[in-house]
């Protein structure tokens, strides 16, 4: 993409309404624009990152054997009356009446609808295990929408639902989700710690929330500092192997890590004092096993081998896809702007032309731009007639992890400059070498 052709409405001033850094930076970098309280338009740069996050979620769900689908945002109230949640959900549910006077709602979550699909089409143990998920907009009429996309009213969520014949199988689905979530967040450059949580209106006993540690987090968390040393990394895992998934769950949940809702001082006191931490965290996901709560309410049963009809065991699993943009920025920024982890960056590298209009500089930039694209990479070329300082400030603000700076002086010596956004370190090298370095970082090899 050429910046002269892009739509990047960066703001010079710090928006007064934004209280936390991720919200400020998303507005300043022209990623989002508020439409009304807690409701945002996603401008091209923000939308691009949102899509990258969605892609990672889809890839990791596929790896775990889960099937993508899509359910409507507007649902009839009938199913919610059947489950008893139409009234129980309270004021957070946006209720709508259609022209025929029917009660509708904008979905805050989809346990009812998915259970209805299941009961209509699945009747036998032979069709299990089954896990279906979607990435779809949700609406919750939050009393205090704030912090930009972190606590919106309309927000994008991955919500998944597992259906299993037995409790044991459903707990395997729970463990499988925990493992796949660990991978998912790490690919986004985040450490998200599973913490024992409270099940809230969804109900059930087994639940963990995934929290990213950040001063601006809304949850108070208590944990054993050893947990921050754990990483999932690129280990191979067979998701159908119950013992393997269980072992990972135990590894990541055996140390004390809880939100304030489940915090227990006496238990916490058993952690050696030097390792006890109290901090704040951003909830970026949650997994639940809730057994037969919805299948009992809605009559979703399956026959087992002996022909007995049994209620299906279920769980639900959510990732805050749009909230993740805020969480990633909270975890990765400096006073100049965002620092995108390579896994989610909107463009792989920026090209800054220090002297637009200089025939050699222009030509060198075109070669870099075309070469990166030929490798399947997505560069952003700042080809505007602007001063170098302004170009650097924009690149730093929007946070591309790598920048190639091209100017007539360097070109005389056959070099350009490759700069890491994270460390600020620059290195001079031949243009071809810069291309190779970037290709290597993103794992694409030069054809
Ligand atoms: P919270 O406690 O933050 O209100 P929740 O526990 O009610 O969230 P879940 O039902 O677990 O939310 O939804 C799954 C994920 O969706 C959450 O982990 C969170 O990342 C995200 N999410 C929930 N509410 C919002 C919101 N208002 N804005 C943005 N993301 C949200
Ligand atoms: Mg939650």
Residues 180 and 109 both lie in one domain = yes
Q: Structure tokens of 60?
A: 């990791």
Residues 111 and 206 both lie in one domain = yes
Q: How far is the CA of 423 from the centre of ligand 2 (A)?
A: 34
Last residue of a domain, one of 337, 366, 382: 337
Q: How far is the CA of 108 from the centre of ligand 1 (A)?
A: 10
Is residue 200 situated within a structural domain? yes
Is residue 248 situated within a structural domain? yes
**Relative to the alpha carbon of 261, which ligand is closest?**
1
**Relative to the alpha carbon of 108, which ligand is closest?**
1
317 pocket-lining for ligand 1 (C-beta < 6 Å): no
Is residue 446 situated within a structural domain? no
Residue of 114, 194, 118, 129 whose CA lies nearest to 160: 114
Q: How far is the CA of 243 from the centre of ligand 2 (A)?
A: 27
106 pocket-lining for ligand 1 (C-beta < 6 Å): no
Residues 314 and 427 both lie in one domain = no
159 pocket-lining for ligand 1 (C-beta < 6 Å): no
208 pocket-lining for ligand 1 (C-beta < 6 Å): no
Is residue 342 situated within a structural domain? no
326 pocket-lining for ligand 1 (C-beta < 6 Å): no
Q: How far is the CA of 46 from the centre of ligand 2 (A)?
A: 24
| Tens digit of each residue's pLDDT (9 = 90 or more) over 342-352 | 999 999 999 99
Is residue 1 situated within a structural domain? no
Residue with structure tokens 């409790």?
A: 167
The helix or strand, by DSSP H or E, that contains position 118, with its residue range, turns out to be helix 111-121
Residues of the domain holding 201: 7-337
Residues 262 and 401 both lie in one domain = no
Domain CATH number, residue 360: 3.40.50.800
Q: Which atom of ligand 1 is nearest to the CA of 152?
A: 28
| Tens digit of each residue's pLDDT (9 = 90 or more) over 167-206 | 999 999 999 999 999 999 999 999 999 999 887 665 556 9
Q: How far is CA 345 from CA 49, 232, 434, in A?
A: 6, 21, 18
Residues 180 and 125 both lie in one domain = yes
Residues 427 and 291 both lie in one domain = no
Last residue of a domain, one of 337, 359, 388: 337
Centre a 10 Å sphere on the Cβ of residue 291 and count the other Cβ atoms it contains.
19
Mean pLDDT of 369-393: 97
User: 195-204 burial, b if ≥16 CB within 10 A, otherwise e?
Assistant: bbbebeebee
Residues 184 and 255 both lie in one domain = yes
* Torsions phi, psi for 82 (to 5 deg): -60, -40
Domain count, the chain: 2
In angstroms, rounded to a whole number, what is the distance separating the alpha carbons of residues 305 and 319?
34
| Tens digit of each residue's pLDDT (9 = 90 or more) over 234-264 | 999 999 999 999 999 999 999 999 999 999 9
Question: E-strand spans in 98-187?
Answer: 103-106, 130-139, 154-164
Question: Based on C-alpha coordinates, what's the Rg of the chain?
Answer: 24
Q: How far is the CA of 162 from the centre of ligand 1 (A)?
A: 19
Residues 33 and 156 both lie in one domain = yes
Q: How far is the CA of 239 from the centre of ligand 2 (A)?
A: 24
Q: Whose CA is nearest to atom 21 of ligand 1?
A: 320
Is residue 447 situated within a structural domain? no
Last residue of a domain, one of 317, 337, 357: 337
Residues 244 and 361 both lie in one domain = no
Residues 378 and 269 both lie in one domain = no
Q: What is the mean pLDDT of the chain?
A: 96
Give the pLDDT band of residue 447 (cuts 50, 70, 90): very low
Is residue 271 situated within a structural domain? yes
Residues 13 and 81 both lie in one domain = yes
Residue 238 CB-density burial (10 A; 0-12 exposed, 13-18 middle, 19+ buried): exposed
Residues 325 and 351 both lie in one domain = no
| 277 contact partners, CB below 8 Å, separation of at least 6 | 222, 223, 224, 225
């Amino acid at each position: 993409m050429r910046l002269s052709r892009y739509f990047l409405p960066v703001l010079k001033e710090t928006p007064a309404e934004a209280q936390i850094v991720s919200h400020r930076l998303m507005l300043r970098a022209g990623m989002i624009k508020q439409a009304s309280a807690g409701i945002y338009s996603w401008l091209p740069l923000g939308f691009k990152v949102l899509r990258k996050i969605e892609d990672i979620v889809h890839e990791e769900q596929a790896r775990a054997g889960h099937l993508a689908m899509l359910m409507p945002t507007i649902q009839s109230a009938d199913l919610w009356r059947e489950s008893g949640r139409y009234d129980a959900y309270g004021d957070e549910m946006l209720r709508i009446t259609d022209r025929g006077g029917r009660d509708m709602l904008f979905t805050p979550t989809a346990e009812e609808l998915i259970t209805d699909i299941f009961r209509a089409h699945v009747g036998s143990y032979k069709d299990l295990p089954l896990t279906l998920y979607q990435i779809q907009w949700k609406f919750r009429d939050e009393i205090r929408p704030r912090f930009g996309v972190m606590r919106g009213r309309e927000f994008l969520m991955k919500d998944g639902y597992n259906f299993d014949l037995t409790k044991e199988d459903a707990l395997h689905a729970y463990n499988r989700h925990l493992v796949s979530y660990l991978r998912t967040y790490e690919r986004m450059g985040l450490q998200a710690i599973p913490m024992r949580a409270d099940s809230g209106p969804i109900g059930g006993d087994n639940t963990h929330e995934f929290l990213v540690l950040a001063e601006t987090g809304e949850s108070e968390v208590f944990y054993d500092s050893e947990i921050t040393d754990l990483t999932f990394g690129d280990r191979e895992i067979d998701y159908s192997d119950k013992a393997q998934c269980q072992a990972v769950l135990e590894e990541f949940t055996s140390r004390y890590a809880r939100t304030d809702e489940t915090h227990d001082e006496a238990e916490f006191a058993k952690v050696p004092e030097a390792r006890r931490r109290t901090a704040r965290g951003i909830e970026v996901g949650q997994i639940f096993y809730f057994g037969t709560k919805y299948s009992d309410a809605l009559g979703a049963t399956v026959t087992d081998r002996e022909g007995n009809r049994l209620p299906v065991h279920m769980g639900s699993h959510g990732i805050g896809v749009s909230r993740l943009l805020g969480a990633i920025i909270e975890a990765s920024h400096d006073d100049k702007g965002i620092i995108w982890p390579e896994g989610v960056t909107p463009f792989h590298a920026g090209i800054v032309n220090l002297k637009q209009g200089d025939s050699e500089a222009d030509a060198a930039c075109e070669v870099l731009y075309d070469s990166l694209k030929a490798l399947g990479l997505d560069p952003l070329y700042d080809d505007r007639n602007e001063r170098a300082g302004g170009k650097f400030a924009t690149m730093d603000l929007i946070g591309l992890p790598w920048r190639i700076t091209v100017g007539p002086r360097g070109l005389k010596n056959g070099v350009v400059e490759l700069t890491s956004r994270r460390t600020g370190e620059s290195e001079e090298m031949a243009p071809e070498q810069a291309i190779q370095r970037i290709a290597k970082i993103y794992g694409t090899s030069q054809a």
